[in-house]
A and B are shown apart, each in its own frame.
Chain A
Amino acid sequence: MRIIQNFFDSQRKHFVKGGKWEKYYPIFEATETFFFFPDHVTRTGPHIRDSLDLKRFMSLVILALMPPLFFGIYNAGCQSNLVSGMSPDFFPAFTRGLSIVMPLIIVSYTVGFFWEFLFAVVRKHSISEGFLVTGLLFPLTLPPTLPLWQAAVGISFGVVIGKEIFGGTGRNFLNPALTGRAFIFFAYPGKMSGDTVWTVMASVKAGAADAFSGATPLAVAAVTDAYGSTEAALTKAGFTFSTLFWGRHPGSIGETSAFLCLIGAILLMLLGIASCRIIIGGVLGVLSAGFLLNLAATENSLPFLSLNPAYHLVMGGFAFGITYMATDPVSAPGMNTAKWVYGFLIGSLTVFIRVLNPAYPEGVMLSILFMNVFAPLLDHIEIKAKLRKRIANV
């Protein structure tokens, strides 16, 4: 510990005012505070402060992301080995998964941190911890076959356009990770359209990665042609409710297991990091929208309408999105009732987009981004109503 401390102390002189790398102080600061809690003391009252800081806050989100991350790595490898005719056992699958997922994560962090550093150095502010989460969330929303250069373009768009041009963390109104994903979604639909999913396939001859594509559960559900048979069609395609819940099916890296997202959600709610209003509101939104569509379903309507609403909770990226994306405090509303509405509308819009809009099989990303835009309005309405009740004091 002393050695690390001495190293930082000896290097500090280059980065402080007058040093040769004065401009790069934010980089030094970010690295040092990663190792050491800063020694700053309070300058004005209150003289004591809470132990919680943003680094802790964000590291807890990362902790909660670990279950979907590890399962995502295993599952990506497992699915790949299955279609390539190799062993689906745990160790080969996990190592295979590592070789698929790690490059995406590394690219996401490297490119993203490059932009973070650049903006911090130019704007002369310290580097915010928010990106630690964004940089991990982003690759988990991607299909495993996405070319690395597209991941780099996506995270660049997410960080620069989604966050930094508005002033950085705390001032962005869109979730940066989802903004990046939305960019790839619309710019390169061939690689992530939502109706087919890509699994990495090891080509025996050349050794280069090839890909195999299959329909996602959402696409299967959308094209079912007989009334009331959607669940049966899903089961026939290999997507039983329990497969979808436990997550052993192809999909974007982090999204497949609703169970592990549920664990993450419970952890985040217990720690008080994520708002339970948003998460529960979202689940209620999905169930009530699904139920409403059930009521509207007839023999002649779209068969997808009659799908059991519980399926919507475990299909696609809803569980992942509502747990980790919708609860980003910066882009979510700050008022309590507004959070309920926000969560509820994310859930119900997800279902409406999935079922009623044939252009987009998946609706979570779009509904979260859409509600991000409306979050300030929801806050505004609730604040106005609340302030009206105050006894004026001027």
Chain B
Amino acid sequence: MIAIKVKKGYDFKNIAGQPALEAEKPGKPACVAALPEKIPFIKPRLRVEVGDSVKIGSVLFEDRRNPAVRFMSPGGGEIAQINFGPRRIIKEIVIRLAENEAQAEFDALSEKALEQIERDKLVAMLLDGGMWPLIKAFPFRDIADPAAVPPAIFVSLGAKEAFQPAPEVYLNGKKNLFGYGIKILQKLTQNVYAGAAADNPNVLKELRENITHVFKGAYPADDPGVLLYHIKQSSSENRSWYIAGQDVLLLAQFLMTGAYPVERTVAVGGTSAPKKKHFITRIGVPLAHLAPGVNGDVRFTAGGILRGYAASKDGYLGLYETSVTLLPESGEKELFGFARPGFEKPSYSRAFLSFFNTSALPANCNLHGDGRACINCGACAEVCPVDILPQFAFKCVLADEVEESLQHGLLDCVECGLCSYVCPSKVEVCTILKKAKAAYYKETGVK
């Protein structure tokens, strides 16, 4: 195991509402959904209509850019609704679950057969079973190109972001499955790297043979992009692929059983959540199923408070998201807010007395200020895990200096959101960089 030290980043450990490590299995929800809108870059083509009956693992839609990339139904039953948004973007495909859900059948692959199978055949199996979209490619974080062979695949166990599922919970009793998943990835490329946090000795002990890198550092040290940035030797490695730890389990389960896997361990947290713990549930579960009876001004975020999206109360969890966080919106006005000592105001800076407060502090969705011009304080550069100088890079982007922003490492950006978080002028640095990346991708068509 190689030790990696990530010096920059920021730990959100002192924010109240962390999910407990125990896991609960809630009952079966009435509906599940697939959310094509939340899968970046794809152009979905529907393959079902309202009223069709589907099995777990039947095709719901495919990507028009490459129809071989298909997305499967996370439930068996009947298509209840297909909801469109502005410009006919497909927002949700809702499936009403039947009592006994039918399973689509795929070929299983024993561990021995896996060793002998050719790479092309394996790729075809994964594409066929709708598992391919779980593998993503740097630097744009689009779904990997099935025709390419990546220089490396990074596996991220991912728990450094606040309120994400802890690896010891979702890996509990699945050590062999994880090992099998890593073998699948090794078929796809020679170099498979898996990183684990040094402060998590249980996981390190359990998965000893499958972990290649141990990192020390604060959020987002666990991000595969950060790992790539810290170990890459040449620019040929920039087009590596990555996959999340839970998705490795899905891959393994799929090939082992020949059934489309839908199990998901979801962390539910945040001060407004009724039960702050892990739930072993399924892909596409309704948010209200995990956090019932929440009223008032509460924001549901799916996929993390830093990178996730805000969902409505009656929304669903997407394919990639594994956490639901409920935080108060807090649109309150505070008298002389700027002059208060701020013993309970979480902050990266040392400008509040909360610096001395070690207990967990409540966070909310207030912007804590107003948009102002950048004053070049440099806080963003202090936290950027991949050494971008966000305060200069975002100005390059706004000035349309594409070349210069690329030199600044725009494509190394892991979209962690820390730069926007710490900014005292409330500049949307991360959004600006993210949009510039996506625009560059769409314009050049490079993969």
Contacts and interface: CB of A to CB of B under 8 A. Distances in A.
B271 to A, nearest CB: 11
Contacts of B423: 49-50
A45 B417 contact: yes
Interface in A326-346: 329-330, 332, 334-335
A186 interface: no
Q: Which of B331, B389, B391 has the most CB of A within 10 A?
A: B389
A43 to B, nearest CB: 8
16 contacts: A37-B333, A40-B366, A45-B310, A46-B417, A46-B420, A47-B308, A48-B327, A48-B421, A49-B366, A49-B367, A54-B375, A59-B339, A167-B373, A170-B374, A272-B350, A329-B375
B372 A271 contact: no
B406 A394 contact: yes
A171 interface: yes
A33 B333 CA distance: 9
Contacts of B352: 51-52, 56
Interface stretch (A234-242, A317-325, A385-393): A385-393
Contact of A51 (B335, B347, B389): B347
Contact of A45 (B329, B334, B377, B431): B431
Nearest to A130: B375
A36 interface: yes
Contacts of A168: 373
Q: Which of B233, B339, B348 has the most CB of A within 10 A?
A: B339
State the 8 A-B residue pairs at the shortest beta-carbon distance, nearest first: A53-B369, A37-B337, A170-B373, A46-B417, A51-B345, A37-B334, A36-B333, A55-B338
Nearest to B411: A393
A391 B372 CA distance: 33
A42 interface: yes
Given A39-B332, A47-B308, A54 B372 contact: yes
Contacts of A386: 389
Contacts of B374: 170
B307 to A, nearest CB: 6
B interface SS class: loop
Interface stretch (B18-26, B183-191, B298-306): B298-306
A207 B232 CA distance: 78
A280 B407 CA distance: 32
Contacts of B15: 48
A379 B389 CA distance: 11
Interface string A143-162: 00000000000000000000
Contacts of A391: 232-235, 238
Chain B: number of interface residues, binned into ranges: 35 or more
A48 B363 contact: yes
Interface in B345-379: 345-352, 354, 363-378
Nearest to B420: A46
B401 interface: no
B346 to A, nearest CB: 6
B409 interface: yes
Given A272-B349, A393-B411, A47 B299 contact: yes
A44 B299 CA distance: 12
B367 A40 contact: yes
A5 interface: yes
Interface string A284-298: 000000000000000
A334 B351 contact: no
A44 B431 contact: yes
Nearest to A334: B376
B365 A42 contact: yes
A330 B338 contact: no
Nearest to A41: B365
Interface string A124-135: 001011100000
B428 interface: yes
A56 B423 CA distance: 13
B19 to A, nearest CB: 16
A48 B364 contact: yes
B309 interface: yes
A45 B308 contact: yes
Q: Which of A48, A271, A383 has the most CB of B within 10 A?
A: A48
Given A48-B327, A49-B426, A391-B233, 13 more contacts: A36-B333, A37-B333, A40-B367, A41-B299, A41-B365, A45-B306, A45-B309, A46-B307, A46-B420, A51-B346, A51-B354, A54-B424, A334-B391
B367 A42 contact: yes
A35 interface: yes
B273 interface: no
Contacts of A169: 372-373, 375
B313 to A, nearest CB: 15
Interface string B131-172: 000000001000000000000000000000000000000000
A82 interface: no
Nearest to A126: B370
Nearest to B139: A393
B257 interface: no
A394 B411 contact: yes
B310 A47 contact: yes
A53 B15 CA distance: 19
B84 interface: no
B62 interface: no
A4 interface: yes
Given A270-B350, A272-B351, A4 B335 contact: yes
Contact of A56 (B325, B338, B348, B421): B338
A53 B409 CA distance: 27
Interface in B379-432: 381, 387, 389, 391-392, 406-412, 417-418, 420-426, 428, 430-431
Contacts of B233: 391
B425 A170 contact: yes
B411 A53 contact: no
Given A51-B352, A271-B350, A329-B377, A393 B406 contact: yes
B363 A53 contact: no
Nearest to B370: A38
B370 A46 contact: no
A130 to B, nearest CB: 7
B365 to A, nearest CB: 5
B363 A5 contact: no
Contacts of A50: 346-349, 368, 421-424
